[in-house]
């Protein structure tokens, strides 16, 4: 078989590990050929490809980003998008596609499968918000980066008796905030899953100062105050209808400074959370998912997404992964609340 591989949506550490595993097992064990499509769905849409053999995937395991490039192109928003993809796959002699992506990329994969394209999906996102899989690779790396930042911020916050508000990514799910905040010993963690009362947060902050410690407040970019609105970077929507989040950290720091009389500053971790080398956990998970994905393609098991359930790598229908967003259960948030303000 000649198999196309693409990576779509926001990049994340571990994408190259998947590509490497797919190609290494596909060539060595099964004798398949590969073609790399560039920049997500833009690649098959515009026929943009590059060679992808064992030579091209050597040495990429520890590299962040994706050697194939990525984009948020939505072929269903482009005239004759699906027909163009089918034509380009045929022109390049491609029998099947492995799409590595999150909610949006896999949503496109699901629809293309229903329209007759041979596709297998691999879940990725630092946000860890895809259904049907316990973890997505990239998440562990993002959490470790945020945890290290929080560790460093503790010492400088103590020296200056300041509140430090750390804004982390995660879109409409609070997984990164919850895990980084717990691992980093944050004083308060605020998630999109539960609107927060700014007076209560100010109370936690004051209590922490009374103990002679400076508070670190971790806020997810999608968190919202009670009776307030999500803070948006701007009103623009991407090709999948998503707004760009960001700014809640600055808003919150201003509120906390005004309410507590103590200086409050904001650190926005932004794309640092998506860059650089993957952790061992993410390298192993990405590799195992890649190995299962090429097995699924080899067996012609189309319309499936490979997933981690418990410690096993399994296959689930693609549609299951994108049916609903996997958000933080409130019981998980309650575990973190034990540490707030003390
Ligand atoms: O989905 C991954 C993610 O990093 C989100 O956490 C964040 O909201 C978004 O992508 C940012 O996207 P971009 O890099 O396109 O601004």
Contact indicator for 256, 208 with CB cutoff of 8 Å: no
User: Residue 265, annotated ligand binder?
Assistant: yes
Q: Could you read off the pLDDT of 145-200 as tens digits, one per residue?
A: 999 999 999 999 999 999 999 999 999 999 999 999 999 999 999 999 999 999 99
Q: Span 294-318, mean pLDDT?
A: 98
Q: How far is Cα 170 from Cα 42, in angstroms, rounded to an integer? A: 24
Q: How far is Cα 91 from Cα 258, in angstroms, rounded to an integer? A: 63
Q: Which helix (H) or strand (E) holds 26?
A: helix 15-28
**Residue of minimum CA distance from atom 15 in ligand 1:** 10
pLDDT for the residue 234: 72
pLDDT for the residue 70: 98
pLDDT for the residue 230: 67
269 lines ligand 1 (CB under 6 A): no
66 lines ligand 1 (CB under 6 A): no
| Three-state SS at 172 | coil
The beta-strand segments (E) located in the chain are 2-7, 33-37, 49-51, 96-101, 119-123, 163-168, 188-190, 216-220, 232-237, 243-245, 264-268, 304-309, 312-317
Catalytic residue among 11, 39, 127, 129, which?
127
Contact indicator for 88, 47 with CB cutoff of 8 Å: yes
Q: Could you read off the pLDDT of 307-321 as tens digits, one per residue?
A: 999 999 999 999 998
pLDDT band at 285; cut points 50, 70, 90: very high
Distance 10 CA to ligand 1 centre (A): 6
Average pLDDT, the chain: 96
242 lines ligand 1 (CB under 6 A): no
Name the packing angle between helices 280-298 and 139-160 (round to 10°). 160
Residues near 229 by Cβ (< 8 Å), separated by ≥ 6?
none
CATH placement of domain 140-274:
3.40.50.460
Q: Could you read off the pLDDT of 250-272 as tens digits, one per residue?
A: 999 999 999 999 999 999 999 99
Contact indicator for 11, 65 with CB cutoff of 8 Å: yes
Distance 181 CA to ligand 1 centre (A): 19
Q: Could you read off the pLDDT of 103-136 as tens digits, one per residue?
A: 999 999 999 999 999 999 999 999 999 999 999 9
**Mutate-to-test residue for ligand 1 from 69, 106, 127, 242, highest number of ligand atoms within 8 A of CB:** 127
User: Residue 162, annotated ligand binder?
Assistant: yes
User: Residue 10, annotated ligand binder?
Assistant: yes
Q: How far is Cα 239 from Cα 218, in angstroms, rounded to an integer? A: 29
Distance 159 CA to ligand 1 centre (A): 32
pLDDT for the residue 241: 87
Strand partners, 35: 4, 51
Distance 38 CA to ligand 1 centre (A): 19
pLDDT for the residue 238: 86
Residue 213 φ/ψ, nearest 5 degrees: -120, 150
Closest ligand 1 atom to residue 170 Cα is: 6
CATH placement of domain 2-137+278-322:
3.40.50.450
Q: Could you read off the pLDDT of 201-247 as tens digits, one per residue?
A: 999 999 999 998 999 999 999 999 998 776 766 777 888 988 889 99
Q: Is 227 assigned a catalytic role? A: no
Q: What are the structural domain ranges in the chain?
A: 2-137+278-322, 140-274
274 lines ligand 1 (CB under 6 A): yes
Give yes or no on whether 2-137+278-322 and 140-274 have one common fold: yes
């Amino acid at each position: 078989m000649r198999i196309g591989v693409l990576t779509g949506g926001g990049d994340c550490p571990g994408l190259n590990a998947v590509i490497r595993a797919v190609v290494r097992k596909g060539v060595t064990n099964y004798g398949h050929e590969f073609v790399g499509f560039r920049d997500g769905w833009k690649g098959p849409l515009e026929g943009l490809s590059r060679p992808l053999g064992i030579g091209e995937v050597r040495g990429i395991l520890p590299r962040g980003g994706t050697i194939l490039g990525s984009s948020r192109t939505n072929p269903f928003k482009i005239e004759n998008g699906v027909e163009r993809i089918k034509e380009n796959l045929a022109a390049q002699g491609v029998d099947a596609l492995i799409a590595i992506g999150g909610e949006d990329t896999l949503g496109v994969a699901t629809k293309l499968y229903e329209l007759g394209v041979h596709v297998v999906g691999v879940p990725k996102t630092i946000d860890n918000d895809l259904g049907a899989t316990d973890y997505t690779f990239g998440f562990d790396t993002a959490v470790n980066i945020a945890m290290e930042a929080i560790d460093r911020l503790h010492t400088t916050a103590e020296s200056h008796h300041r509140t430090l508000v750390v804004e982390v990514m995660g879109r409409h799910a609070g997984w990164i905030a919850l895990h980084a905040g717990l691992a980093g010993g944050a004083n308060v963690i605020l998630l999109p899953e539960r609107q927060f009362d700014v007076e209560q947060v100010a109370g936690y902050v004051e209590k922490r100062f009374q103990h002679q410690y400076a508070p670190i407040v971790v806020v997810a970019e999608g968190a919202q105050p009670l009776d307030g609105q999500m803070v948006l970077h701007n009103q623009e929507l991407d090709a999948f209808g998503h707004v760009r989040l960001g700014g809640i950290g600055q808003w919150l720091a201003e509120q906390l400074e005004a309410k507590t009389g103590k200086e409050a500053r904001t650190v926005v971790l932004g794309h640092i959370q998506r860059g650089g080398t993957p952790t061992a956990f993410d390298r192993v998970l990405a590799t195992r998912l890649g190995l299962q994905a090429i097995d699924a393609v080899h067996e012609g098991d189309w319309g499936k997404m490979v997933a981690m359930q418990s410690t096993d790598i399994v296959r689930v229908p693609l549609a299951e992964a994108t049916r609903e967003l996997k958000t933080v259960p409130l019981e998980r948030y309650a575990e973190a609340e034990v540490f707030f303000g003390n």
